[in-house]
Amino acid sequence: MTGPAHLNSVPEIMMPMYETIVGLTDDVCDRELNSGYRDLARAMTAALGRKRPSPLASGQPRTWACGIVYVLGRINFLGNPSFSPHMTTAELCGVFEVGESTIHGKARVIERALGTQAFDPQWTLPSLVEKNPLVWMAEVNGLLVDLRNMPREVQEIAFEDGLMMPAAAAPPGACPQSKIASRGADQVGRPCA
């Protein structure tokens, strides 16, 4: 998700802003959160930098950095004490040294620009993918279904369409968005969200 190929897709004009924001998010994620948040923050910053026009073109890098981590935190339950890592909105804003009202405004812009939502598989931490029910969801004949409960033939079609990869050939981390382990002998594989 965040590799050299992804960096090349950030427009040259947005690279200075991208690098500044990523420097801030990397620092906070490395000190306070984890590498999963760091990698997703890099990917989200790149995605925002590619938007036309990019919302990152105006505003302070510090507020964008906090807004990005805040949106990722909302998707991944950062504010819920039963999840690890845990950080309240006030604590997150304190670490970035920005006001809460500013972050809520930035979060709305980010969520609209990227179309994020609760349980968004694209922005789910690898450590939480197993717990995210939307990772396994697919539309089959106009109905939303859980691929784990579908017949093998449907799972094979999902595999052929790139929605799943064979469990035997998919070591953890093989899918860019998913690290779900196969669940039972009748499963074709794991989803590639």
- pLDDT, one tens digit per residue, over 100-125 is 999 999 999 999 999 998 888 889 88
Grouping H, G, I as helix, E, B as strand and the rest as coil, residue 189 is strand
Tokens of residue 187, six digits? 């499963």
Q: What backbone torsions phi and psi does residue 189 show, to the nearest 5 degrees?
A: 180, -155
| Token output for 56 | 């990152």
Phi, psi of 126 (to 5 degrees): -55, -35
pLDDT at residue 192 is higher than 80: no
d(CA 163, CA 170) in angstroms, rounded, equals 13
What six digits make up the tokens of 16? 């200075």
Token readout for 182 is: 């196969």
43-102 tens-digit pLDDT: 999 999 999 999 999 999 999 999 999 999 999 989 989 988 999 999 999 999 999 999
Q: Dump pLDDT digits (tens) for 130-189.
A: 776 666 777 777 888 777 777 888 777 777 776 654 443 333 333 433 333 333 333 344
Domains assigned to the chain: 4-117 (1.10.472.10), 132-191 (no CATH)
> Side chain identity at 182, as an amino acid letter?
S
pTM above 0.85, yes or no: no
Amino acid of residue 166: P
Q: d(Cα 96, Cα 65) in Å, to the nearest integer? A: 8
The span from the first CA to the last CA of the chain, in angstroms, equals: 11
